[in-house]
Chains A and B, each alone.
Chain A
Amino acid sequence: MASQSRAEALSHPASRKPRSTQQQAILAASKVWSWIFLAALVAYFSWNGTGFFTLRNSQNILVALVPIILMGLGQTFVIISGGIDLSVGWVMGLASVMSAIVIRDQVNSGTNVEIAILMGFAVGIGCGLIAGLVSGTITAKLRVPPFIVTLGVSFVARGIGFLKAEGNVVGGQPVELRNLGNESLLYFVRGDEGGLYFLKKPDVIGAQLRLLDRVFTWPVVITFIIVLIGMFVLAKTQFGRHTYAIGGNKDASSRAGVPVDRHIILLYVLSAGTSALAGVLHTARFSGGAADAGDPIMMMSIAAVVIGGVSLFGGEGRVIGTVIGAMILAVLQTGLIMINVQTFYQYIVVGIIVIMAVLMDQARDIIIGRAEE
């Protein structure tokens, strides 16, 4: 009997030390805590914050989520591969400035407004892709740690952004752009004569405007679609599989024939690309390009990724985790304001949650036994 159990133990080293109830609890908690925490936050603020659980507030939260999720999406891929991209915030700002300049100048020189907007978006996102290409190439080919490379690219993007914007917000944007950034898929009008409108803005004027809610603004819709594509690519395609493989064992991936360098370059292009998209959407939402558009949110986006369970050691994580992480941050932000907690406390709370998330991650790794290898 004793030798029998020894034989089993040898063939399953993971079960060599049977997991205690406590360990199993931590393991289970590490998988679902972010969902439960989000639900608890929503419940708490709905109870305590006047007007938290309203259509308008939910829409405000979604709008605030757009740049956090877009930056976090590319970052999710990069961190799963074992890298990090610290340039996302300032790449977002650069894209915002460049798109605003192109749109303003094109409209001023008489280009058709729709074409001007398209050109502006293309140039803004193009600048992002170039920044990603630079980060990725230096990381992959010259083997410089991505932490340093993207920090450098971040400063360059910051400098170019402020120079191009001449230290100001780039204004002079057409109304069509503002509509793209603020109008929505659905409209809801409260009151007796109100109702739900699909793709058609109801004619409301004056005081009635206060009864109008924009439901799913275009940036939210675009972000939703991008997130779905991101989920699909990471979970179901060869690109996603190679991203995990590189994060799990780069040498093994290379030996198995995965084009590791090319893949890493593409990951940084992707990350800068989604950040640049956040930048052009910022330009649309605020009718202006700002070099520092992404600065206050960049660390939030990295926090969202970590809270969402993406391992900073690489190899683990899912897009939905990042979305949940971002929602926790956005709900916390709005909720704390609504219960009249001073803004600066937010940072302290966010900091504690990030550290908590990483501790969860490490506890899980130790229990699984990966950390010992």
Chain B
Amino acid sequence: MEPILRVENITKRFGGLTAVNRVNLEVNPGEVVGLVGDNGAGKSTLIKMVSGVYHPSEGAIYFEGKPAVINTPSQARDMGIETIYQDLALAGNLTMSANIFLGRERKKKYLGGAVRILDEKFMLQEALKLLETLDVHLPAPSAKIEKLSGGQRQAVAIARALYWNARLMIMDEPTNNLGVIEQAKVLDLIRRLKEQHVPVILISHTMRDIFAVSDRIIVLHRGRKVADKRTSETSNEELVQYIMGARDDFEAARA
């Protein structure tokens, strides 16, 4: 099976600092890959190269088998790489459907296209159908985002990405600042994405979450990949050793 995303020997230097050092990474269809590491290990930098925020200093990215040049976040999104940051990039004063369709609103045309009115009904129905597939039911679908819970907001952000044909979802600390029940709901959302064969890269500090949903776990330490293991074949204790830098599976590759 061909991986959706393949990153080869990718390196990012900021002046004298090497934030990401020759990392290889593959994500297969329908796979949830957990990305862990201490603060400053290079997780965010690595992800930002895939989502078009940073340009790699060296190395190559292949998306769906083809070499990908990703210069801007919007290019990444056009290819189907959707990143959901902690702030979720939602406008709190707009409704759920207004957010899902923001920038790509559906309009009804009158007077030969001279007058174009927002098709609220269509957008709301599409949005509700989508949330249905994620098994999310909002008590008041036309409430503003700021009135929704953290988990519901996550669901809206994911739904938006899905609606616009996300082929790879990158989620940065999605369970941060959420209550226990909400955390479980977000993990459920990730399982739903997997069911729909949308691969996910999950960045998290919470090992319990990583173990709950991931198929494979990649550990970064000081910019280098030090472990790439099937979730079923590792343990919390072992991962902590990798994270602390006490173990390194790729020591031979070190230059």
Task: Report A's interface with B, CB cutoff 8 A.
Answer: 7, 10-14, 236-238, 241-242, 244-245, 247-249, 251-253, 255-258, 315-316, 368-370, 373
Contact = CB atoms under 8 A, between A and B. Distances in A.
B103 A10 contact: no
B90 A238 contact: no
B133 interface: no
B16 interface: no
Interface stretch (B17-25, B56-64, B149-157, B190-198): B149-157
B68 interface: no
Given A10-B180, A249-B92, A253-B102, 4 more contacts: A10-B149, A10-B182, A241-B98, A249-B89
Interface in B127-162: 139, 146-152, 160
B249 interface: no
Interface in B21-80: 73-74
25 contacts: A7-B181, A10-B181, A11-B181, A11-B182, A13-B149, A14-B147, A14-B148, A14-B149, A236-B118, A237-B107, A237-B117, A238-B116, A241-B94, A241-B102, A241-B105, A245-B94, A248-B93, A253-B102, A255-B73, A256-B89, A256-B99, A256-B104, A256-B160, A369-B146, A373-B92
A54 B139 CA distance: 50
Contact of A244 (B93, B103, B150): B93
A253 B99 CA distance: 9
Nearest to A238: B105
B118 A315 contact: no
A245 B102 contact: yes
A252 B98 CA distance: 12
A255 B89 contact: yes
A11 B148 CA distance: 8
Contacts of B181: 7, 10-11
Contacts of B185: 11
Contacts of B117: 236-237
B92 A251 contact: no
Contacts of A237: 107, 116-118
A257 B182 contact: no
Interface in B182-214: 182, 185
A369 B179 CA distance: 17
A240 to B, nearest CB: 8
Contacts of A244: 91, 93-94
Residue among A251, A255, A369 with max Cβ neighbours from chain B (10 Å):
A255
B182 A245 contact: no
